[in-house]
Every structure is written in structure tokens, then in C-alpha cells.
Structure 1
Amino acid sequence: MVKAIRVRQHGGPEVLKWEDVEVGDPKEGEIRLKHKAIGINFLDVYMRKGLYESSPPLPFIPGMEGAGVVTAVGAGVTTCKVGDLVAYGVLDVGSYSEERILPADRAVPVPSYIDPVVAASVIFKGLTAQVLVRRSFKVEREHTVLVHAAAGGVGYLVCQWASSVGATVIGTVSTKEKAVQAKEDGCQHVILYKDENFVDRVMEITSGKGVDVVYDSVGKDTFDGSLTCLKPRGLMCHFGMASGEPEPIAFAKLSSKSLFYTFPALKAYTDDREELVAAAEELFSCVAKGVLRVRVNHKYPLSQAVQAHVDLESRKTTGSVVLIPDEE
């Protein structure tokens, strides 16, 4: 038996319960992993509340990313061996646990120069950033991008990555403290959206031209304004709904400027193992080179996942948030 956080009913952070669970042995194609660290994502909150379209059936153990040591392998596993340090993201839930079983082909090797806590904190969010900046829209030097929640777990990585190629980065944040971080992470322009209208400021910054792409993880509160900020043939890259699901959109809002829209599901970009490994290698390489400076700003014992969720939802966190198994 190991300790884990389990959700038996949908609701607030209080539904996260600290319980004993049975892990078992890996079957064919599976590995057993002893976690060093576990990443937290806002997607975990959606699933806890039952808001996500693909929320798992109750009861379930939340979490979709982590890093740890392989302690057992099932038959037919050739991608890793006992003792290897691996990380994973974009997986069935189950990471808020001291140990877990997972498909071997979803685990990627963690280079010796990457700390496992860093790996756990960046694998899901970093792969998401890689998809946003490199694949769903390939940011180039001549582009101007708008990043909502620029100090958040994915947002700050998007800002760094886009800035590293020379793009002009505009970020929105909620506080002056977060504005300082956004500047450090490559935003040439930072908008305090509680104090000023972000649409007006974006159009002022761009001399009325608008931006090439908007990276929007907020959803309902920013969606319409984000569309307005786009230049003709711009891309609305919508990857989260922290404020809720946007209202249905009229096609006229897209057709008036020939806008493009995408909601890039990470699974669609990483289902193929070769693509997954290549993306992870690029991510870890960028971390090693300093292109991406991973901010592990908040660490909580695994047993205190309730407090971690409270802080995340109240927007008290910046950068990456991780859970550390209590024995660590």
C-alpha cells in the first residue's frame, strides 16, 4: 500500500482525500514508477470539479505529470529499465500518488543534467509550450504575440520561448508582482488587466495592427477581446478555460478578418512516441541551454494537495507548482 490523493466526488479542494491505495505490479507494456516529484496543472482543477469533457469516472487519483525512478517493468518493455529516471505527461490521471503504474511508451528519459523536480514541473507544461510556440503556430522573429496569464505555469514558458526567437511578446497579468516576473521572462510589454483594458493597450502597442497570435488559457473572460486583438489572418490559440468556457462564437467574428482558431490538444501532438520523445528532447535541451528558465516557485508535500489547489485557484501561484511525496 502507498499513500495517494483520491477524489470520490466532484467539488472544491476539500474533496481531495489522503488515502491508502494499492498499486500492484506492471502488466505487459507497463512500468511501475516511484515518484520524485509530481506536477500540478489547472487541468487537475477542471477534473476535480468535473468540468472537463474527458473528466475520469469517480473515484480517481488526479494528476497527469510527474518524474521518478522505474522500480519494475512489465513484459515486452524495451524503452526503459529498472533504475532509470523518467518523466511523463499527457497521460491518464493517477500522478498524485507516491507510486503508480503507467504505460512505458508514455515515459521519456530524463537527462542526468535535469533535476527530477524540474522535470516533473516542466514536462506537461513544457510540452504544451512546445506545441504552442513551435507547432500549432511557429513563432518567428517578425511576429507579435499576446500571452494571457503570462506568469502562469504554461504562460511564462511561452513568453520565454517566443522571446528567445526574437518575437515581440505582450503579456497580461493580474498583479504588479507578476508583471515583474513577466518582464524577466521576456515580455517587452506587460498589461495589468485589472487596471487597464487589454484590447485597447494591445492595439496601442501594435499601432492598431493587432497581433499574429493570441495564446489564451483564460477562456470566457478574455476570449472576445482576444479575437479583437488579432490582425487579419491571425490565429486564436485557445488552450485553457480558467475563467470558464467562452460563449458560442458567431462565424462572423472569425470571417470579418479571416481569423484562424485552434484548441491544440497535447495528446494529438504526442500520441506518436517518436514525436513525444523528440519534443521532450527539445524541451530538456532548451532548459539545459538556459533558453527556458524553469520557475519551480511552489513546492507542497503530496499530503497537502488541498492547499496547493486552494492557492492555484486563488491565483496566488506563479510559475510551476509541484507536489513532493512526503517521504522525500
Structure 2
Amino acid sequence: MERGNASYFEGFILMGFSDRPHLELTLFVVVLTFYLLTLLGNLTIVLLSALDSRLHTPMYFFLANLSFLDMCFTTGSIPQMLYNLWGPDKTISFMGCAIQLYFVLALGGVECVLLAVMAYDRYAAVCRPLHYTVIMHPRLCGQLASAAWLSGFGNSLIMAPQTLMLPRCGHRRVDHFLCEMPALIGMACVDTMTLEALAFALAIFIILAPLILILISYAYIVQAVLRIQSAAGRKKAFNTCSSHLIVVSLFYGTIIYMYLQPANTYSQDQGKFLTLFYTIVTPSVNPLIYTLRNKDVKEAMKKVLGKGAIPRRWTYTPLFTW
């Protein structure tokens, strides 16, 4: 980092939606509402997964990881956004920006890999039902979850410092409401082609590779579902996979647009609203998507609220018995 770079000493100014001051109060209320819903919904899933033994299955283990991830992701960016929307102060310290960038990149990468892990779990449940409990044993589940978390944080450990060290010739204004990589790269006063190439290469492993694994898993799942004779069996298979597919579509639709295009074609206005979508909307609707028609979760909530049951061990329940 150059000593003449003012951002190192004075931090950054997050412009956010300051060019639309009439929207800031409305956005503050909307963002705060979605943030509270995110915390409530995802915390409920984490607690239910821990308190009810019927939810001690790989599917809910990974879902609890996803819920915890969403809480961390929103908490790493939403409070600063609310502070900037509430008043005239739009500043963030250099260290605050660095921490925010690191965790936004890391947790986004974790979610990419975790969604692929969840797709593999659905593949094992639908395509290998008789061997499901043997394949998805607790040790493997722990290893897959650990691999997701380590890969996301490892990717951020490479990209975040490279992005922050770019010379900005004293420019401090970030045309965004959080410290996100495309916006920070766009501020640089040097050629960023090498860094963009590195980001694209890593994105292939963190974004595209998990997406390809998800598509392959669902290709096998579709083949298995088509072979099911009973309509009830096909409906059950569809219900257990449809929620995951919706979340994948919402998440990857925005992430691919944000990170797999050249910086010179990046639209800040579109980027802001897309970031707003996957920062506050997607994490808040994930619990609804996964639990709206989920009888196990509804019964677990009634049991925990009514009896306060505490589980004693990890148990498995076969998802399919055809």
C-alpha cells in the first residue's frame, strides 16, 4: 500500500445510494426489516437443528451450516449499511473496509461450495437411498462442511489483500454501499488486468466448479426420479430437492453476474441493487424456502416449544424407502 494513498490513513467513503437521498430512509426500513427476518429465520433453523433429534440428519446439518453462514454474511455488511443509510456519515475505516471485504468474499465462497455439498447430499438421498446412511456418515459430513468453509476463506485470503493493495492515487469514494471487490478494483488508477485474470481463475474453482457439480448431481437425480414408479415417491423426491434448486438459482444468478464479467463492463447501479438482493433478500427467504412446506421442521418447532426436548445423539432417518 502506498503511503501517499489517503485511503490507507483516512479510510473510504461509501457512496451507496447518496445520489438518491429520497430513497435512503425507505431503504433503511426495508434493509432493517429484512435483516431482522434473516436473523430470526436462520437462528430458528440453527436452534431447531440442534434441539430436535429428528433433525439430526445430514440434510439439516448442512442446512444449519447455511443458516449460520447467512447470519454471518448479513451481520458482516448490514450494520454498516444501516449506519450509512441513517445519517450523513458515509465513511468506513480502512481496517473496517478490509474486514468487510474479507468476510464478504470468504462467506460468498463458502456458500458456493456448501450449495454443491448439499446437492451431493440430495444425490445420495435420491440415487443411493439404501446406502445413504453409510455414504453420508457424520465424519464425511464434517469433512465436507470444513472443506466448504476452508475453501471460501482461503480464496478470500488471496483476493482481499491483492484488492486492497491496489494504488488508488488518493481516491476514497467507493461507488457502493459496502466494500466489494468489483467496486474497489474499479477505483484503481493502474492497470488491473492481471488481478482480474487471477480473480476470474479463482472464480472458476469457487463459483463455476461447484455449479457444474450441482448440475451433474441434479442430472443424476432427474434420471432417478423418472424411474420412480409411484407418484408419491416422485413428489417426495421433488419436494426435497426443489427448495435447494430455488436457493441455488437465486444465489448463483446474482453471483455470476457480479464476479464473472470484466470490470469495464460492470454497471455500478445494477451492481448495487443485485448486491442488495443477495445481501438482504436471499438470506432472509432461505429459511422460508426450506421450511415453508417442511413437516419435520414444523413438528420440531412444536416439540421444542411445547416440551423443550434436547437430543442425545446424532441419528439418521432414511428419506426414501421405495
Q: TM-score, normalised by structure 1?
A: 0.23
Higher RCO (CA < 8 A, seq sep 6+): 2
User: Which structure features the higher share of helix residues?
Assistant: 2
TM-score by length of structure 2 reads 0.23
